[in-house]
Structure 1
């Protein structure tokens, strides 16, 4: 059983939002597989339902439970956990994760033995052991995904030309690490700063890794793994129906656009907004033309197009705030 420690090697920070049972499963895997380093666990609670505290603490009484008092999102909750933690190393760990071996010690050893490394994480796998191949680890990969273009090779090549991937000599080095598992040093956080609290959820890990990367390498260990169940606390912010033009989830993309503005400037942000605004008449016009060619009501079957227009409307709610990079709480 985990015991409270004054100076642990590692502080493990989890955020709770309707996931106390997932947290218990996660902590059982930590307890089962972790050896060779001392650690403390801090759970930062974003859930207004108070029942989760007893559930977690009954199973793991050594856990430190921190109340936020409201759904503060990922950045603010983790920053609170970082501020109240004591380890020389800090791990942000999602509640919907499971360890399968002593990966915490391995990551800690990398940080202890390689001062040029700023942060480290393992590969995500499913419960069945399949690697999450759709996960991005490059800034340009993510930015290319934001452009809605025909799926032909020409447009893909064009995007690759204007947004090329960065190449590293070390095959494990990446632009960013998924926020479900990021281990770094406390001193690195002190230099880079904590997570940006304008982000409610999503993309805060990308922006944070941009700043962590200025302090050293970010390593994704290709032969180390952890299970990421997806999705636990973020289930309220997921949409099940996905199409080519409606691939974005509202909260996720509001945060993505904020990241683009912060890292690449107002010009890059405006190009994306103009791209989406231009698409609205294009996709409506295309569907109306298809309907006419098929001798249908020209204004039938436009649900997908209307959904995209509504999405753009949500993005535009945050337009001026994002354009001027104003501090706030970018919550849909």
Structure 2
């Protein structure tokens, strides 16, 4: 990692970068290679936590990036536990959670730290995230999810609730705010916040841990800052793609329900069973719809459309077959 000013000895580095990796060797290498230019004026320490990747990611880091502090887990502990393991070792004025499928443009992290230095009221700072291929802005700052969000996006209540849509994300909020949460793909954390608030909730294996962390920050009367003046490229979801879609669907639902329980257990006791019923009913209705459309498109020899609904049917049927009872037990 030539060109990176590695924080050493008793001095406090400007930035501690924490990357949790699972089975994304190619993306991880590109991410690490982008850091020297991305943090050009900063002293930096870099931690990579490998969650038992079978693709040789840990070996690659040890061989090609000797300045990186490599932590190797014997099993996949999930994102939150892996992050907390590294955060406990960091020394920087700021810590940065960085996904392994990101690429940092030249000067981006330097700019992010300067923005945080100019905004001491912001405990967390996040940049704009862009797709590397198209340059399109990704959701980078979103309103907090609610039970209404869950019902409108995942259940049979969707057609009714979508008559009164709510924004899924806000593209630009260049001021400290308490109105939403920052995506954890690139999240700058002030040192005093790390000392004041516990790390990520380890009951989340994957998904929603960043949402929950932002909620706890705001409940502690701190503020967030999302800035479009700095941007990072994000391939998005490459670690999650390593697992079966139906398994990731269950993990996402489990995390969402755990998050929503934090909005009040009384409300959750009423709405959680209803959500489960309407979610499964929605999956069954999608299976029926896909079956009918698959048959119709097959008769019309429209292969592309038929293949689309065959995949959708397979995905939903796989979830119902493998995870219905586990979902109901959440």
TM-score between the two structures when normalised by the length of structure 2: 0.77
How far apart, in 1, do the equivalents of 2:286 and 2:63 lie? 54
Question: Which aligned pairs between 1:56-135 and structure 2 lie closer than 5 A?
Answer: 56-133=61-138
1:220 shift after superposition: 1.7
1:136-191: CA deviation from partner (whole Å, max 9, x where unpaired): 61124854653335876x6413454xx9999x986674511111111111221232
Query: Does the aligned pair in 2 maintain the 1:14–1:93 contact within 8 Å?
Result: yes
Query: Does the aligned pair in 2 maintain the 1:111–1:184 contact within 8 Å?
Result: no
Secondary structure at the aligned position of 1:90 is classed as strand
Partner of 2:323: 314
1:283 shift after superposition: 6.0
The partner residue of 1:177 within 166, 175, 182 is 182
Secondary structure at the aligned position of 2:201 is classed as coil
Partner of 2:250: 250
- Find out whether 1:276 has 2:284 as its counterpart: no
- Find out whether 1:229 has 2:235 as its counterpart: yes
The partner residue of 1:189 within 185, 194, 200 is 194
- The 3 A distance-change label for structure 1 pair 135 and 225 is closer
- Find out whether 1:147 has 2:165 as its counterpart: no
Query: Does the aligned pair in 2 maintain the 1:121–1:183 contact within 8 Å?
Result: yes
- The 3 A distance-change label for structure 1 pair 281 and 171 is same
Partner of 1:262: 262
Secondary structure at the aligned position of 1:13 is classed as strand
How far apart, in 2, do the equivalents of 1:207 and 1:200 lie? 13
Query: Does the aligned pair in 2 maintain the 1:140–1:165 contact within 8 Å?
Result: no
- The 3 A distance-change label for structure 1 pair 172 and 229 is farther
The partner residue of 2:13 within 4, 8, 14 is 8
Q: Which moved more, 1:77-86 or 1:281-290?
A: 281-290
Query: Does the aligned pair in 1 maintain the 2:174–2:227 contact within 8 Å?
Result: no
- The 3 A distance-change label for structure 1 pair 169 and 144 is farther
Aligned residues: 306
Partner of 2:304: none
Q: Which runs of 5+ in 1 are unaligned?
A: 240-245, 323-332
Q: Which moved more, 1:81-90 or 1:213-222?
A: 213-222
Secondary structure at the aligned position of 2:261 is classed as helix
How far apart, in 2, do the equivalents of 1:17 and 1:280 lie? 29
Partner of 1:242: none
Secondary structure at the aligned position of 1:62 is classed as coil
- The 3 A distance-change label for structure 1 pair 33 and 302 is closer
Query: Does the aligned pair in 2 maintain the 1:123–1:220 contact within 8 Å?
Result: yes
How far apart, in 2, do the equivalents of 1:237 and 1:286 lie? 26
Secondary structure at the aligned position of 2:272 is classed as helix
Query: Does the aligned pair in 2 maintain the 1:284–1:305 contact within 8 Å?
Result: yes
1:10 shift after superposition: 0.9
1:243-275: CA deviation from partner (whole Å, max 9, x where unpaired): xxx9x8232222222222233532443342232
How far apart, in 1, do the equivalents of 2:168 and 2:89 lie? 40
1:78 shift after superposition: 0.3
1:267-316: CA deviation from partner (whole Å, max 9, x where unpaired): 4433422322454676678789999xxxx9xxxx9996785476367265
CA RMSD of aligned residues (A): 3.8
- The 3 A distance-change label for structure 1 pair 164 and 57 is closer
How far apart, in 2, do the equivalents of 1:197 and 1:208 lie? 11
